[in-house]
């Protein structure tokens, strides 16, 4: 008898999601992220079941700090990413990883029956299923062999040196690394 070994989004997601109202100031959002040691907040008002948006540390830096905007005078609703790509908790984890890589995102709100039930990050994917990177590359090569003829061993995933999630990583000395870290390694 064959066992079903399908790993789902539910298996890897974080179910205790920190959310914030769109009217929350950037200053308060930054305090929440610091307090809970997280890099993003799902934006959702109490009246809404589905997430309305997402805000990350990177959003705060690029859209507020770099423009010298007072963090207490702007809300997360003003700068949040809208029209989120979401996933069902019953979806396979490899499907979620492909969705992240294809759309260049590192976080997926997990929605069931229209309500937020969790969040899946690229780190969650790799912690639950580190071999997924190899599987995704092989699947992509089988589905689109022409796309991979010019690319040596380029794969989607998290750089093992800097920790950034990218669509293309190269293998150098047994580690999957981004282009920048690859240049640093080869420059030594």
Greater pLDDT, 103 or 32: 32
More confident position, 52 or 135? 52
Specify if 4 maps to a domain: no
CATH code of residue 69: 3.10.580.10
- Tally the domains of the chain: 2
Count other C-beta atoms under 10 Å from residue 64's C-beta.
22
Q: Are residues 93 and 143 in the same domain?
A: no
| The pLDDT of residue 98 | 85
Same-domain status, 80 and 95: yes
Which pLDDT belongs to residue 134?
57
Q: Does the residue 3 lie in any domain?
A: no
Give the count of beta carbons closer than 10 Å to the beta carbon of residue 90.
Answer: 11
**Mean pLDDT throughout 99-123?**
90
Asked whether residue 92 is marked as a ligand-binding residue, the answer is no
Task: Indicate if 123 and 54 belong to the same structural domain.
Answer: yes
| Alpha-carbon distances of 149 from 19, 24, 153, rounded to whole Å | 43, 48, 10
Joined tokens for residue 177: 């690394």
pLDDT at site 45: 85
**Residue 164 pairs with which residues in a beta bridge?**
none
Q: Are 42 and 116 in contact (CB under 8 A)?
A: yes
Q: Are residues 164 and 98 part of one domain?
A: no
pLDDT range class, residue 86, cuts 50, 70, 90: very high
For CA atoms 176, 182, 184, 188, the dihedral sign is: positive
Helix ranges (DSSP H) in 37-131: 57-63, 76-79, 93-103, 122-128
Which candidate, 1, 4, 6, 2, places its Cα nearest to that of 135?
Answer: 6
Do 86 and 171 share a domain, yes or no? Answer: no
Identify the domain containing residue 117 by its residue range. Answer: 9-127
Q: For the residues 116-136, what does the mean pLDDT come to? A: 78
149 among the known binding-site residues?
no
Q: Print burial letters for 40-61: b (CB count within 10 Å at least 16), e (below 16).
A: bbbbbeeeeeebbbbbbbebbe
Alpha carbon separation from 164 to 157, 159, 169 (Å, rounded): 8, 5, 10
Q: Supply the pTM of this predicted model.
A: 0.67
The reply, when asked if residue 159 is annotated as ligand binding, is yes
CA–CA separation, 181 vs 97, rounded Å?
22
Residue 175 near residue 160 (C-beta atoms within 8 A): yes
Whether 178 has a binding-site annotation, put simply, is yes
On whether both 50 and 105 belong to a single domain, the answer is yes
List residues bridging with 121 in a β-sheet.
Answer: 107
């Amino acid at each position: 008898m064959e066992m079903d070994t399908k790993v789902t989004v539910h298996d890897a997601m974080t179910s205790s999601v920190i959310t914030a109202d769109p009217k929350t100031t950037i200053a308060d959002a930054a305090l929440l992220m610091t307090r809970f040691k997280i890099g993003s907040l799902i934006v959702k008002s109490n009246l809404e079941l589905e997430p309305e948006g997402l805000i990350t540390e990177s959003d705060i830096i690029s859209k507020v700090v770099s423009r010298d905007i007072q963090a207490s005078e702007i809300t997360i609703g003003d700068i949040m990413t809208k029209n989120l790509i979401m996933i069902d908790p019953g979806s396979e984890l490899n499907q979620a990883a492909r969705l992240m890589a294809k759309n260049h995102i590192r976080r997926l709100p997990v929605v069931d029956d229209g309500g937020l039930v969790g969040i899946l990050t690229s780190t969650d994917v790799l912690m639950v299923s580190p071999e997924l990177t190899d599987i995704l590359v092989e699947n992509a090569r089988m589905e689109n062999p022409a796309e991979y003829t010019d690319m040596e061993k380029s794969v989607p995933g998290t750089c093992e040196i800097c920790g950034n999630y990218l669509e293309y990583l190269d293998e150098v000395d047994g580690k999957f690394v981004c282009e920048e870290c690859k240049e640093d390694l080869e420059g030594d």
